[in-house]
Structure 1
Amino acid sequence: MSSSAEERVLSLIIPVYYNAESLRDVAKAVAWLEAALAQRKLGLEAIFVDDGSGDDSLAELLKIKNARPATKIIKFTRNFGAVQAVRAGMRHATGDVVAYMAADLQDPIEQVVAMVDAWLAGGRYVISVRRSRADPLLTRIAARIYYRLIRMLVAPDFPRKGYDFRLMDRAIAKQHEAIPAYVNPIIFEFYLGFKPTVLEYDRRERVHGKSRWSFRKRLNLMLDTILGFSVRPLRMFSAIGVLTAAASVCYGIFLVIATLLHGGDMPGFATIATLISFFFSLVLLMLGIIGEYIWRIFDRVTQRPESVIEETYF
């Protein structure tokens, strides 16, 4: 693709999952964005990925394509997840720069323009960090715990409030072709070492529908993030094992000395039984963590498809 300003294109990837109610507003937002980009001599490649929606999302997407024939639509056979939807969109993106936006419109479309301006100013990787978020209390608490764990176990300099809204040039987007399905792409991009240009914005309250981001999906993402980029869980349990072994030796010496000095049986069966149960639980937890690492190795070796496309509308 030519590097002239007139021919540069932004590829905007929009995963869709039960978003039929919001897609009309999304179409208006895309039209507004296209006009704003035209003022900057940029084109727009809009790529929608239907992640196995069970509502009328595909029908609404086809209406968008009828009104704007250049729109690209990718339909999955079933729900594979937002991460896989974004990566499928990246594989079909042809623009000089790639951005991601959720179809619930909690992330304002104006922020895409702000990120584009930062890219035009020389930023290769532009992230929008949430200054505030109009989400339920439990969601905010879970997010705070999650990002604290990320900073503690994976990336100490990761933004405290996290981010999903981001824009990257083509060179960074191409790196996604090499990573397996279970790797969190946001952490992967951060891991690459490109210094991000950081912008802030206020996340809006959801207007249409309800969040499909369940606790199970959040938990899976947390495990994938921590176990996909850090060996610290294994080292933490190794350290616990060393401390436990040292404590056991000290306790054994204490029992021997106490028996020699005082004779007879030493009380403490309940304490010993409790300690045995506790440390067996630690062993099982450790085996579970090892199993998670082994599963990721197995998943990479078998090379199963991370997503399956049923149909494309280009």
Structure 2
Amino acid sequence: MVNALSTAASGRLRGELARFLLVGITSVVIDFAVYRGLLALAIAVHPAKTAGYIAGAVFGYFANRSFTFRVGAQWRQRELLSFIAVYLIALGANVVVNSLVLAVLGRGEIALASAFVAATGVSAAMNFVGLKLFVFGAGDAGANAAVQATTASPARADGAARLSLSLVIPCYNEAANLPLLVARLRETFLDDRAEVVLVDNGSTDDSPAVLARLLAGQQRIRSVRVEVNQGYGYGILTGLRAARGDVLGWTHADMQTDPQDALRGLALYDQAADPARLFVKGRRYGRPAADVAFTVGMSVFETVLMSRRMWDINAQPTLFPRAFFERWREPPHDFALDLYAYYQAVRDGLRVQRFAVRFGERAHGSSHWNVNWQAKLRFIKRTVDFSLRLRQGLQERA
């Protein structure tokens, strides 16, 4: 497990570096265009260099926040102040290096280009380290602190009783993944308010025997069995009906999402002024470009069809109050359950709070629907059919 997490961290760092370079190249183009444009207007070198750098920095802030490090948390003033501090330090280094190279090589075209490359390289390296450790990386630290808070503090800040969590994880032919999943649950689910309901969703492999062996003696990790698979949503609904918590939710068993993310979601309920009106959902990062494009297309379609903003509908975990679940009527039994829950939350006026979750590779096996474009087209057809029925039902009730 440690090796798997280390590999995931290395993969995440490589992805961040690649995206940072792409953003950096675009920022450099903006920076250089402004710099040379101002020089052409007879502006002095240092003011022109500073203006170009600031123009590239403004673009870099927004692009690195949303694209490179994929920060899901709400904007905070401390983040912007940290960003300004990092960029001012790097700006100082940039101007100093630029001046030193020009002092050595003169003011010719080759000297200008060489000074620019050297200054940009130094400041870029400083920026990446600063953004990673002190600006956008602070969100991960804050999330981890929130998880620790859920296991340490005995009561909510306002004195109210802290809510309990039941996390449902449907498992269909996941015998190879179950040892990793249960080990991760035993390692991270240390909050005694949280239970996990593993749903053996009609598996035809060795899942029943594997679960019986892994869960022997466990108090807060248990399983329920669906004898015949009737769909992804049906398995989740079976687990939700067996759950005991005040906050209910689900995630996947394939280890593409870390089950510990659910505790980060529970921490948001601990912090909420009105947890009974809160719907929490992850927002994925680290996915292949083709999958992101697919998600964007489906999100736009659902947003237009439902006349409500719907984004990254199938992201996990999904968490909500028990009372909200008890109001559901005829929820779907397939993958449309994610859409159903999300839409009902928006329609009922719950406050939807999203947070960034890493979406990695499956530990074992393959997806039951995201196999190829034919499978995706079948998924799209089922989702569109359900969406049209859902909208028609809403219009009839209105």
Letter in 2 for 1:159: W
**Structure with a larger share of its residues in helix:** 2
Distance change in 2, residues 1:69/1:217 (3 Å): farther
CA contact (8 A) 1:144 1:161 kept: no
**Counterpart residue number, 1:198:** 354
Distance in 1 (CA, whole Å) between partners of 2:176 and 2:232 is 18
CA contact (8 A) 1:50 1:57 kept: yes
1:179 to 330, 333, 343: 330
Letter in 2 for 1:157: R
More displaced stretch, 198-207 vs 186-195:
186-195
Letter in 2 for 1:230: R
Q: Which has the higher contact order (CA 8 A, sep 6+)?
A: 1
SS in 2 for 1:109: coil
**Counterpart residue number, 1:207:** 363
CA contact (8 A) 1:133 1:205 kept: no
Distance change in 2, residues 1:9/1:217 (3 Å): farther
Distance in 1 (CA, whole Å) between partners of 2:174 and 2:246 is 28
SS in 1 for 2:388: helix
Q: How much does 1:210 deviate?
A: 0.6
SS in 1 for 2:351: coil
Q: What TM-score comes out, normalization by structure 1 length?
A: 0.63
Distance in 1 (CA, whole Å) between partners of 2:321 and 2:230 is 25
Distance in 1 (CA, whole Å) between partners of 2:313 and 2:194 is 29
Q: How much does 1:23 deviate?
A: 0.7
1:47 to 183, 189, 197: 197
CA contact (8 A) 2:194 2:220 kept: no
Q: How much does 1:161 deviate?
A: 6.7
CA contact (8 A) 1:148 1:160 kept: no
Q: Summarize the alignment of residues 1-314 of structure 1 with structure 2, pairs less than 5 Å apart.
A: 8-35=163-190, 37-38=191-192, 43-122=193-272, 123=275, 124-130=278-284, 132-135=285-288, 138-159=290-311, 163-176=315-328, 178-181=329-332, 184=337, 185-186=340-341, 187-213=343-369, 215=375, 218-219=379-380, 221-231=382-392
**Structure with a larger share of its residues in strand:** 1
Distance change in 2, residues 1:69/1:133 (3 Å): same
**Aligned pair count?**
224
Distance change in 2, residues 1:32/1:133 (3 Å): same
Q: How much does 1:103 deviate?
A: 0.3
- Identical counterparts, % of pairs: 21
RMSD, aligned α-carbons: 2.9
CA contact (8 A) 1:119 1:125 kept: no
Q: How much does 1:200 deviate?
A: 1.6
Distance change in 2, residues 1:71/1:160 (3 Å): closer
Q: How much does 1:168 deviate?
A: 1.1
Q: How much does 1:18 deviate?
A: 1.5
Deviation digits for residues 11-40 of structure 1, max 9, x if unmatched?
1101001211111111112112331x24xx
Deviation digits for residues 131-187 of structure 1, max 9, x if unmatched?
x2434x5544433322221112124311257534211121112223x2343563333
CA contact (8 A) 1:154 1:229 kept: no
SS in 2 for 1:95: coil
CA contact (8 A) 2:163 2:270 kept: no
Distance in 1 (CA, whole Å) between partners of 2:318 and 2:249 is 6
Deviation digits for residues 175-229 of structure 1, max 9, x if unmatched?
23x2343563333333322111221222112121110125276135413441232
Distance change in 2, residues 1:162/1:21 (3 Å): closer
Q: How much does 1:6 deviate?
A: 7.3
Deviation digits for residues 212-266 of structure 1, max 9, x if unmatched?
125276135413441232249x9xxxxxxxxxxxxxxxxxxxxxxxxxxxxxxxx
Distance change in 2, residues 1:225/1:205 (3 Å): same
Distance in 1 (CA, whole Å) between partners of 2:286 and 2:229 is 26
